[in-house]
């Protein structure tokens, strides 16, 4: 196993140790034991920058399921490295922040850090996997671990609701994505992402190309909270603030962004639908998220819809940047700037949004509320937090001299240059791109000002606060201070610090043609580009946004045009209620509480399906040419079995029925003795003895059988079903004996039992070696059933003790 594989798996390994550390070292916050790992991983991944700067990648592979082409292949290129650094870098700061945010005497820290480590490892697996199935495995693990993190405060109904909503939406999207991956495999014959990208030119004519694209985009849109699947993200804010800062600024919600960027070379060069869907959905999400953020009164709610909006911005840039893959001559292409802006804003968003989440956590922690209607005037009591908030919000609003201004200007450039495109009907509808971008940016400016000024300026309202506000402890301030410092540093020195080290290599992963043209392996970021339309748009955003912010009370009634009862959230809730109600009604229609009724359903279905299969497949064939002769002892045993079976029907007590049924089982064991299968005979005897004993224990408590009360129709139905099952099974057995479609496998076991498994007992070798997984899963099922029974008995005993 390589160090790269170990880097991905290390969070999972540490998660196994956290409960032990928590159990024996209670006096120290568990976060201090966890903090070293993300810091170490960040340092490890940082050393790969020199590799990716030269356009190189590092690939390591471990064989997993070679027969299906599934290997645990890890690849570090510019794009994967960028995300790995964000995951571990922001992760380090989040762990440090959580040490001071979560009290060790009030929270279950062992579960929190286990969930956080699971999520960190899953995200690293997503962005570094070069195999689609491995990527999908980690993808769903991010959904599972985020479900646990969002529902960490499970005693709160809203936390459970938010966790369930995020799980349902992202997992369903993930299943769709898996379907797209399978379609890609059918077209290319490989699950390797790098090989698929190299062979992308051969698959666009396939009828599976568009379905694969749609399935994959659905998975990406649900994960990155794109409209209309964005509804899970605001409810996910019920998680602790460190979780929100991690999941929704740099990691989980960026997974869909990563997937779109990674697979752009596969779909974008051959279909205008990719551009329209990615850019169109992104712009709609950008506009709706920013518009919705303005009306929020909860600080986390503002940041939630802000995140939705910013994700839409990045997604729209990736869509527009996909046009670069459509053109043959990159030196004549003007749309590389959109991809540059997408990658740059990906970094910027992680810095300013991470710091803002931590600021909101500090405000909540020190005042006891996040309601902006109760907040105000905190700048004097929390000057450091005020300064961090100013840097983060002004960067989010796209104001100079912060990094958000640079990527926002590049965003405007990309949207404006859409008007110059002569493909995909952009001459007709292209004007919507800069128009929607500008309107959304105005709302972005408004909610940024609301978040900042409503919290830190204005009238101080101590009577409405649960706590007397004061500055946060230094440990809680260090992480947002670091992120706010990066906002400023990246604003002034982005070109020298980020262009060649992170942005250009990531772009080369999204636009592979850059690797073949060293003159284009270059990114330039600067503040001043002259008096152009982008600058005019920015000035317009500030002017109109300022007026709109100051006059907000006069036009906020516009939100009444979008009542909650007609929202997408209400549609989601109504759909779940409808599904639950319909399911209950359907279940109640056939679940009447009688086991024999359920057996009637099962056996009728059994008879019908097998009879139809025999008829449709023309499998009904009966020949006795190769049948062995029936001996005297075999005939006697058959008569005994028949007599016992018929006698059960007339037994007047369950004890008699159980004895007769046991006699049938023991007689079958005698058949195995006659056929020289002592192992099977012994197994049959043991199982039959255990079954009879269990039946006697259970049926002892049931009422006596009263044959006189049974209706004639009831008896006739039972008889008909019994005869039907017997006839169908007999026909199948005879047909199976008569239809020899291939040679018996028994000879293979005879020849290989000793040679390959070093065993002389063929039955044991089949169970343990040749069918080892089957046996293992049978044991697993029995183990799960045993645990379930134990839990039910323990719960019943507990209730008796309490009651």
Q: What is the token pair recorded at 630?
A: 């029936």
Return d(Cα 606, Cα 299) in angstroms, integer: 58
Task: Give me the pLDDT at residue 632, please.
Answer: 87
Q: Which residues, 6 or more positions from 291, have their beta carbon under 8 angstroms from its beta carbon?
A: 440, 443
Identify the bridge partners of residue 308 per DSSP, sorted by sequence position: none
Phi, psi of 457 (to 5 degrees): -120, 180
Return d(Cα 57, Cα 53) in angstroms, integer: 9
Task: Give me the pLDDT at residue 29, please.
Answer: 86
Q: Hey, how many other C-beta atoms are within 10 angstroms of the C-beta on 441?
A: 28
Q: Where are the domains of the chain?
A: 271-550, 561-591, 594-741, 745-803
CATH architecture assigned to 594-741: Up-down Bundle (1.20)
Answer yes or no: are the C-beta atoms of 668 and 638 closer than 8 Å.
Answer: no
CA distances from 728 to 100, 605, 612, 721 (A): 69, 12, 11, 10
pLDDT tens per residue, range 212-247: 999 999 999 999 999 999 999 999 988 899 999 998
Closest CA to 141 of 169, 122, 164: 122
Which residues in 723-761 are b (16+ Cβ under 10 Å) and which e?
ebbeebeebbebbeebeeeeeeeeeebeeebeeebeeee
Return d(Cα 344, Cα 414) in angstroms, integer: 13
Task: Give me the pLDDT at residue 791, please.
Answer: 83
Return d(Cα 347, Cα 752) in angstroms, integer: 59
Return d(Cα 347, Cα 89) in angstroms, integer: 11
Q: Tokens 């949004």 map to which residue?
A: 353
Task: Give SS3 for 384.
Answer: helix
- DSSP 8-state secondary structure symbol assigned to residue 732: H
Task: Give SS3 for 524.
Answer: coil
Task: Give me the pLDDT at residue 705, please.
Answer: 63
Q: Which residues, 6 or more positions from 317, have their beta carbon under 8 angstroms from its beta carbon?
A: 282, 338, 339, 341, 342, 345, 411, 414
Q: What is the token pair recorded at 191?
A: 């699950």
Task: Give SS3 for 498.
Answer: coil
Answer yes or no: are the C-beta atoms of 117 and 15 closer than 8 Å.
Answer: yes
Answer yes or no: are the C-beta atoms of 412 and 503 closer than 8 Å.
Answer: no
Which strand (E) or helix (H) includes residue 6?
helix 3-24
Q: What spatial distance separates the first Cα and last Cα of the chain, rounded to whole Å? A: 55
- DSSP 8-state secondary structure symbol assigned to residue 374: T
Task: Give me the pLDDT at residue 317, please.
Answer: 92
Task: Give me the pLDDT at residue 711, please.
Answer: 64
Return d(Cα 298, Cα 286) in angstroms, integer: 20
CA dihedral 782, 783, 787, 793 (to 10 degrees): 40
Task: Give me the pLDDT at residue 519, please.
Answer: 45
Return d(Cα 653, Cα 657) in angstroms, integer: 7
Task: Give me the pLDDT at residue 16, please.
Answer: 93
Return d(Cα 114, Cα 250) in angstroms, integer: 19
Q: What is the token pair recorded at 724?
A: 């039907």
Q: Could you say which residues of the chain have pLDDT below 50?
A: 329-332, 518-520
């Amino acid at each position: 196993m390589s160090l790269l594989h170990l880097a991905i798996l290390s969070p999972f390994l540490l998660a196994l140790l956290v409960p032990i550390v928590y159990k024996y070292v209670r006096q120290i916050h568990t976060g201090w034991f966890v903090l070293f790992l993300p810091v170490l991983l960040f340092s490890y991944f940082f050393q790969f920058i020199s590799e990716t700067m030269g356009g190189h990648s590092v690939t390591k592979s471990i064989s997993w399921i070679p027969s299906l082409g599934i290997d645990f292949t890890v690849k570090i290129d510019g794009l994967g490295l960028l995300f790995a650094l964000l995951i571990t870098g922001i992760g380090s700061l989040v762990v440090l922040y959580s040490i001071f945010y979560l009290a060790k005497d009030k929270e279950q820290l062992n579960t929190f850090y286990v969930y956080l480590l699971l999520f960190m490892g899953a995200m690293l697996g997503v962005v570094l996997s070069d195999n689609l199935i491995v990527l999908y495995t980690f993808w769903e693990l991010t959904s599972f671990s985020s479900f646990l993190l969002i529902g960490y405060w499970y005693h709160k109904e809203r936390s459970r609701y938010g966790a369930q909503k995020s799980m349902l939406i992202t997992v369903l999207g993930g299943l769709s994505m898996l379907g797209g991956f399978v379609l890609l495999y059918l077209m290319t014959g490989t699950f390797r992402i790098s090989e698929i990208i190299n062979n992308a030119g051969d698959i666009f004519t396939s009828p599976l190309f568009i379905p694969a694209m749609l399935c994959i985009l659905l998975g990406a849109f649900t994960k990155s909270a794109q409209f209309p699947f964005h509804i899970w993200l605001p409810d996910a804010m019920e998680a602790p603030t460190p979780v929100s800062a991690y999941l929704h600024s740099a990691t989980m919600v960026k997974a869909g962004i990563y997937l779109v960027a990674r697979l752009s070379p596969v779909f974008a060069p051959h279909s205008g639908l990719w551009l329209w869907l990615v850019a169109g959905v992104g712009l709609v999400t950008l506009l709706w998220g920013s518009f919705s953020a303005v009306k929020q009164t909860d600080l986390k709610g503002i940041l939630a819809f802000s995140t939705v909006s910013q994700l839409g911005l990045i997604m729209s840039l990736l869509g527009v940047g996909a046009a670069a893959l459509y053109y043959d001559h990159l030196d004549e292409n003007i749309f590389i700037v959109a991809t540059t802006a997408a990658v740059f804003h990906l970094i910027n968003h992680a810095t300013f949004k991470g710091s803002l989440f931590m600021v909101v956590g500090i405000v909540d922690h020190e005042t006891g509320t996040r309601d902006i209607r109760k907040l105000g005037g905190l700048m004097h009591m929390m000057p450091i937090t005020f300064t961090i908030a100013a840097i983060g919000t002004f960067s989010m609003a796209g104001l100079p001299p912060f990094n958000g201004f640079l990527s926002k200007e590049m965003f405007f450039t990309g949207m404006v240059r859409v008007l110059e495109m002569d493909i995909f009907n952009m001459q007709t509808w292209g004007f919507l791109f800069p128009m929607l971008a500008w309107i959304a940016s105005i709302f972005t400016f408004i909610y940024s000002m609301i978040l900042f000024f409503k919290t830190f300026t204005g009238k101080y309202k101590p009577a409405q606060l649960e706590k007397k506000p004061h500055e946060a402890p230094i440990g809680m301030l260090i992480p947002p201070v670091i992120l706010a410092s990066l906002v400023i540093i990246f604003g002034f020195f982005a070109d020298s610090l980020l262009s060649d080290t992170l942005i250009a290599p990531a772009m080369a992963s999204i636009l592979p043609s850059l690797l073949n043209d060293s003159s284009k392996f270059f990114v330039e970021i600067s503040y001043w580009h002259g008096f152009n339309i982008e600058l005019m748009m920015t000035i317009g955003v500030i002017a109109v946004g300022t007026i709109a912010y100051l006059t907000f009370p006069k036009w906020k009634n516009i939100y009444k045009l979008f009542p909650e009862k007609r929202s997408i959230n209400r549609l989601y809730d109504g759909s779940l209620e409808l599904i639950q109600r319909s399911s209950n009604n359907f279940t109640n229609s056939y679940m009447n509480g009688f086991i024999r009724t359920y057996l009637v359903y099962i056996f009728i279905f059994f008879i019908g399906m097998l009879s139809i299969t025999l008829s449709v497949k023309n499998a009904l064939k009966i020949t006795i040419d190769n049948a062995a002769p029936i001996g005297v002892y075999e005939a006697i045993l058959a008569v005994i079995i028949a007599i016992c079976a018929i006698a059960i029907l007339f037994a007047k007590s369950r004890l008699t029925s159980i004895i007769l049924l046991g006699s049938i089982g023991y007689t079958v064991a005698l058949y195995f003795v006659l056929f020289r299968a002592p192992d099977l005979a012994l197994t049959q005897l043991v199982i039959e003895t255990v079954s009879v004993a269990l039946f006697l224990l259970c049926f002892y408590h049931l009422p006596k059988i009263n044959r006189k009360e049974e209706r004639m129709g009831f008896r006739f139905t039972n008889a008909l079903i019994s005869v039907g099952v017997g006839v169908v099974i007999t026909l199948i057995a005879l047909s199976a004996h008569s239809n020899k479609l291939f040679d018996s496998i028994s000879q293979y076991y005879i020849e290989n039992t000793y040679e390959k498994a070093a065993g002389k007992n063929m039955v044991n070798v089949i169970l343990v070696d040749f069918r080892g997984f089957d046996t293992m899963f049978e044991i697993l099922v029995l183990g799960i059933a045993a645990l379930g029974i134990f839990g039910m008995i323990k719960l019943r005993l507990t209730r008796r003790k309490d009651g």
